């Protein structure tokens, strides 16, 4: 009927056709990248790398428990407390009414305490001042050093401070 835009077919022989289901979704391949040892208070981010994924959704877990709101491809860790936590990311792929889910291998992240700097010792005897330190901030190792100098004009000799604490130190 040309006026309505409809098409009518007439078949003189029987025919059949087969509708096949969409192929199964491949299982996502999942891995996590990021630093596994961080210092207390340092920014730490884990990121999930995925392939063979369609319309991905994410859920992060800490020590087997789902982390509320952690549903993106990255997770920023709380590094205020020291210790080790294990993280896993679940990735779900969905297309054509099908879903496929995979989990990353567990990744353990250790938060270490920041090293504490010792308080320098200042000793004044007469017109001589002695500064002592027992920490080498450049290497993080314990070392000791002592310097002495003469106080003149009411101010300590800055060379003493530089010798003990290093050039550019806040005290120098």
Q: Round to whole Å and give the CA distance between 86 and 144.
A: 39
The answer to whether the beta carbons of residues 66 and 43 sit under 8 Å apart is no
Closest CA to 54 of 25, 32, 30: 25
Q: What is the mean pLDDT of residues 25-52?
A: 87
Express each pLDDT in 64-87 by its tens digit.
Answer: 999 999 999 999 998 889 999 999
* pLDDT above 50 for 1: no
* pLDDT above 80 for 60: yes
Which residue carries 């969409």 as its tokens? 22
Please, which pLDDT band fits residue 2 given cuts at 50, 70 and 90?
very low
Instruction: Starting at the earlier edge strand, list the strands of the sheet with 45-51.
Output: 29-33, 45-51, 74-76
Q: What is the pLDDT of residue 74?
A: 94
């Amino acid at each position: 009927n040309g006026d309505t835009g409809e098409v009518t077919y007439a078949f003189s022989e029987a025919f059949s056709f087969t509708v096949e289901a969409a192929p199964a979704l491949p299982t996502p391949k999942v891995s996590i990248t990021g630093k596994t040892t961080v210092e207390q208070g340092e920014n730490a981010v884990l990121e999930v790398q995925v392939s063979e994924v369609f319309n991905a959704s994410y859920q992060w877990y800490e020590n087997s428990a789902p982390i509320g709101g952690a549903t993106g491809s990255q997770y920023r860790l709380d590094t205020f407390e020291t210790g080790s936590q294990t993280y896993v990311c679940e990735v779900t792929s969905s297309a054509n009414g099908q879903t496929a889910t995979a989990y990353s291998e567990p990744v353990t992240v250790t938060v270490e305490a920041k090293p504490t700097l010792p308080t320098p010792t200042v000793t004044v005897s007469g017109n001589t001042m002695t500064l002592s330190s027992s920490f080498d901030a450049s290497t993080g190792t314990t070392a000791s050093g002592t310097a002495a100098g003469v106080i003149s004009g009411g101010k300590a000799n800055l060379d003493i401070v530089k010798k003990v604490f290093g050039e550019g130190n806040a005290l120098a």
